[in-house]
Amino acid sequence: MKSYSFIQKQDQDVANAISGEEKRQAEGLELIPSENYVSQAVLQALGSPMTNKYSEGYPGKRYYGGQMYTDAVETIAQSRAKELFNCDFANVQPLSGAPANVALYFALLNPGDTVLGMDLSHGGHLTHGHPVTAVTKVFNFVRYKMKDAETGEIDYDKMLAVAKQEKPKIILAGFSAYSRELDYKKFVDIAKEVGAITVADMAHIAGLIAGKALRNPFDDGFDVITTTTHKTLRGPRGGMILTRENEEIAQRVDKTIFPGMQGGPHMNVIAAKAVAFGEALHPNFAVYASQILKNAKAMEEVFRKNNIRMLGGGTSNHLILADVFGSLGVSGADAEKVLDEVGITLNKNAIADDVRKPMDPSGIRFGTPAITTRGFTEKESTIVAEKMIETLTHKDDASVKARIKTEIEDLASRFPIPESFV
């Protein structure tokens, strides 16, 4: 356990909470697909004196003095991001993924303009136009869905028909709970037919793209990528907007982020992003990204053998969305709770056209980025999937859950969270 001597001396309540969370992460297994562990180098950057500095503007064009070193870390972060994703422009200031998406809408659209994105119930994200979000008061969102929830195939013919009818300014590829690869070329072809800008929200799979384990949308002609910098990219919690080659779009993005929507960037986070991007450029990151996919396939195989329905029929990326209510009679909320009790953390999640309520849906969503960071291979991933199903099928048996909890703690102890990735 790390030392938090200053916090312990000054604020024991907060120190206890931090120590408790550290213990929880070390002794349990993290399967939430959007979570991961960062290196000690990233943590040091987050806790560095960079947090003290206001740096409104961009490198070489700041509104305050004393920017020699802030300019340096932001320039490093930009340069490494462009190298990782093979693009010409990178804005590393967005505070997270949702603010990045919102900023992009305001950069590229006028009020009332239309965005075509994936339906939330079929795997999309709240910021892709769910009615509860504020952006739907400003812009018009229309949606595409899967043609077949059993295969995960997107209905591209219907997407084209909707695009021709609605004339979207942006066609958005991206997801929060979709387990297959998207056909980026079809998105680009549809966008060209209606004169739309192509945007890929790659928050979940940015690390898999950076590690060359999944295809880069820019290689198929996409205009813009928005992403988080945590999840599979294994950096600090933050966002980023990448532009392939269109300088006008990049300039509009920069002006919308600052001064349009944000004030001073969080320079400690940008320094941590620079560190994480450097880690992702290391050759072993590609090995890590590839292993994420292998581990997910290993878990898929266990669920298939046990006749657990998986949306999309399985996975081609880092996550699985399983219909545990339809397969086992256990709601997603109950599954999340009982698995938490044995030290396996994941999240309840709605499935396509779910008849249950969002806070007690039919499905669970889980993935392999964090356990892969700990060094898990297919062997350990298979064991975890088997323990998940055993827990769910014996959810009311305290003795079984106690045994599994001990087994999970033992497994976690054999794969401690690494301090360094390079």
Average pLDDT of the residues of the chain? 97
Which one of the listed residues 201, 223, 300, 336 is annotated catalytic? 201
User: Average pLDDT in the 337-346 region?
Assistant: 98
CATH number of the domain at 8-37+283-414, please? 3.90.1150.10
| Residue 125 in marked binding region | yes
Across the range 122-141, mean pLDDT stands at: 92
Task: For 227-286, write each residue's pLDDT tens digit.
Answer: 999 999 999 999 999 999 999 999 999 999 999 999 999 999 999 999 999 999 999 999
What would the pLDDT profile of 66-118 be if each residue is shown by its tens digit? 999 999 999 999 999 999 999 999 999 999 999 999 999 999 999 999 999 99
CB 219 within 8 A of CB 212: no
Average pLDDT over residues 340-344: 98
> pLDDT per residue over 353-396, tens digit each?
999 999 999 999 999 999 999 999 999 999 999 999 999 999 99
Give yes or no: 387 in active site.
no
User: Is 193 within any annotated ligand binding site?
Assistant: no
**Residue in 270, 320, 213 with CA at minimum distance from that of residue 58:** 270
> Which one is catalytic: 143, 145, 231, 401?
231
37 in catalytic set: no
Please pick, among 80, 143, 234, 237, the residue that the annotation labels catalytic. Answer: 237
User: Which pLDDT score, from 0 to 100, does residue 337 have?
Assistant: 98
User: Is 228 part of the annotated catalytic residue set?
Assistant: yes
User: Within 10 Å of residue 219's Cβ, how many Cβ atoms?
Assistant: 12
Q: Is 124 annotated as a binding residue?
A: yes
User: Per-residue b/e over 397-422, b at no fewer than 16 CB within 10 Å?
Assistant: eeeebeebbeebbebbeeeebeeebe
Annotated catalytic residue, options 22, 27, 35, 56: 56
Q: Is 229 a catalytic site residue?
A: no
Domain boundaries in the chain? 8-37+283-414, 45-280
1 pLDDT tier (thresholds 50, 70, 90): low
pLDDT at 129: 87
One of 70, 114, 198, 228 is an active-site residue; which one? 228
Chain centre to alpha carbon of residue 228: 6
Look up 340 and say whether it is catalytic: no
114 catalytic, yes or no?
no
Q: How far apart are CA 407 and CA 422, in angstroms?
A: 30
Q: Is 120 annotated as a binding residue?
A: yes
pTM of the model as a whole: 0.96
Q: Which pLDDT does position 186 carry in this prediction? A: 98
Sole residue written with tokens 């297919």: 378
- 30 annotated as ligand-binding: no
Give the 3-state DSSP-derived string for 266-303, with helices as H, strands as E and coil as C: CHHHHHHHHHHHHHHCCHHHHHHHHHHHHHHHHHHHHH
Rounded-to-integer distance, Cα 336 and Cα 281, Å: 35
pLDDT of residue 240: 98
- The one catalytic residue among 4, 22, 35, 54: 54
45-280 topology per CATH:
Aspartate Aminotransferase; domain 2 (3.40.640)
